[in-house]
Amino acid sequence: MGRLEVRGATLDFEVTGDDGPLVVQLHGLMSSRQRDRQLGLDLGRALRGHRVLRVDARGHGGSSGSPDPADYAWNRLAEDLIAVLDDVAPGETVHGVGPSMGTGTLLHAALHDPARFTSLTLMVPPTAWGTRRAQAETYLRNADLIERHGVDAYLQLGATTPVPPAIADAPETLPSVDERLLPTVLRGAATADLPAKDNITLIEVPTLILAWTGDPTHPLRTATRLSELLPQSRLVVARTPYGVTAWPGLFAEHVITAGVEPTPTGTIPVMPDVTRPLPETRAS
């Protein structure tokens, strides 16, 4: 366990494993490293011979928050990530993995410090660019709802939202953000976006993109567009919980092979219920 003071917040993290290359694992909005374990999104559990650094973003899990919504934009969270890496593994290159908000954080961090990352794994990329405005308006409405009526009203609203088929069996969990801070975190998320598309084409590390279907908050179109923009990318899509169970193994394979030889840009069709991906096809 470790804690680090960064820009007015105390970031909480843990490192497992005694030796080997370092993997840094992030989480999504309103989640934490503990909540991702419950949801089956802790991909680092399949790795052997690596150290895994799991970080709770500011305001999430065991990390304290700050009062400025701008602190929760993904480019600012990337600054937090780089600060933790400088403290835990100064001078080391690392493998990065994270869903949604974690994906946004990693892409900004990879542009901020290109030599830092050996590989990236982007899980369920969020709304971005043209689809981001509507999502931002939803976050702002939800922040107002929580301030007026409390977090229970927000949770009741969320209970009516359809669940993506790939996580239909996931357990019910609560937000890993203090209710008093949650409106600020949501308003910060409303200001966040992925880097500009032209900048994303500059990220040349091998990148695995893991997506699922039926989720407007994490639309497949973002994952597909990222696979077209990133020079070395591979896209795998799950449509059932069984497909998601293959992700830890795919991630472990990606980390182990990253840097051995370039990964051609391509996509994989929606994944059937098997434990290995179909042959790759080139993106259109």
Task: Identify the DSSP state of 191.
Answer: T
- Cα separations (Å) of 255 from 97, 192, 195, 249, 271? 10, 27, 23, 10, 20
pLDDT in tens, 205-247: 999 999 999 999 999 999 999 999 999 999 999 999 999 999 9
pLDDT in tens, 57-100: 999 999 999 999 999 999 999 999 999 999 999 999 999 999 99
Please state the domain extents for the chain. 2-271
Q: Which of 242, 244, 243, 203 is nearest to 226 (CA)?
A: 203
Give the strand pairing for 22-25 and 51-56.
parallel
Domain 2-271: give its CATH architecture.
Answer: 3-Layer(aba) Sandwich (3.40)
| H or E segment and range at residue 155 | helix 151-158
